[in-house]
């Protein structure tokens, strides 16, 4: 595990081949979070990776924007995103925005529907 970014309770960690986000993502932190994750994506030796926003407790369009930016960067570097894991609030927001076809959702955790 390696901490890539930390600011006022928002954290980005590399856990093996997974980018793990926890805390609150908002308009004031999204750009720095996106930059930290993008830097890791540009330099990783992993060809397959996972992105997890399971630790994000509130729905936020800023968090989804960061995710979409990382997906764009991953394509640029020919990285395969194996799964995207979202917290229940973020999943509901993504569903509302009709992003499910764009995002590669993992199966929701049992009992989270």
What pLDDT is recorded for position 88?
A: 95
Instruction: Tell me whether residue 102 is in a domain.
Output: no
Main-chain dihedrals φ then ψ at residue 16, nearest 5 degrees? 65, -120
Model pTM greater than 0.85?
yes
Q: Which residue has the higher pLDDT, 67 or 103?
A: 67
Tally of domains within the chain: 1
Residue 13 lies in a domain: yes
> Is there a domain that residue 79 lies in?
yes
83 belongs to a structural domain: yes
Residue 22 lies in a domain: yes
Structure tokens at 103: 């995002």
Residue 92 included in any domain: yes
pLDDT tens digits, 13-40: 999 999 999 999 999 999 999 999 999 9
CA distance 73 to 95: 23
Cβ neighbors of 62 (< 8 A, separation 6 or more) are 25, 26, 27, 29, 30
Contact 51, 70 (CB under 8 A): yes
Q: Read off the CATH number of the domain in which 9 is found.
A: 3.30.750.24
Residue 62, burial from CB neighbour count under 10 angstroms (0-12, 13-18, 19+): middle
Q: What is the pLDDT of residues 77-112, one digit of tens each?
A: 999 999 999 999 999 999 999 888 777 655 444 444
Which domain, by its residues, includes 55? 2-96
Helix, strand, coil percentages, rounded to 5, for the chain: 35, 30, 35
Whether 112 is in a domain gets the answer: no
The pairing of beta strand 48-56 with beta strand 18-23: parallel
Q: Is residue 71 part of a domain?
A: yes
């Amino acid at each position: 595990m390696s901490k890539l970014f930390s600011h006022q309770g928002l954290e980005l960690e590399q856990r093996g081949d997974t980018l793990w986000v926890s805390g609150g993502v908002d308009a004031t932190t999204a750009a720095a979070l996106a930059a930290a994750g993008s830097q890791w994506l540009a330099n990783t030796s992993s060809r397959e990776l996972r992105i997890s926003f399971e630790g994000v407790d509130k729905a936020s369009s800023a968090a989804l924007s960061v995710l979409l930016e990382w997906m764009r960067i991953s394509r640029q570097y020919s990285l395969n995103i194996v799964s995207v894991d979202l917290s229940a609030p973020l999943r509901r927001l993504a569903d509302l925005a009709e992003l499910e076809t764009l995002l590669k959702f993992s199966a929701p955790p049992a009992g989270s529907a």
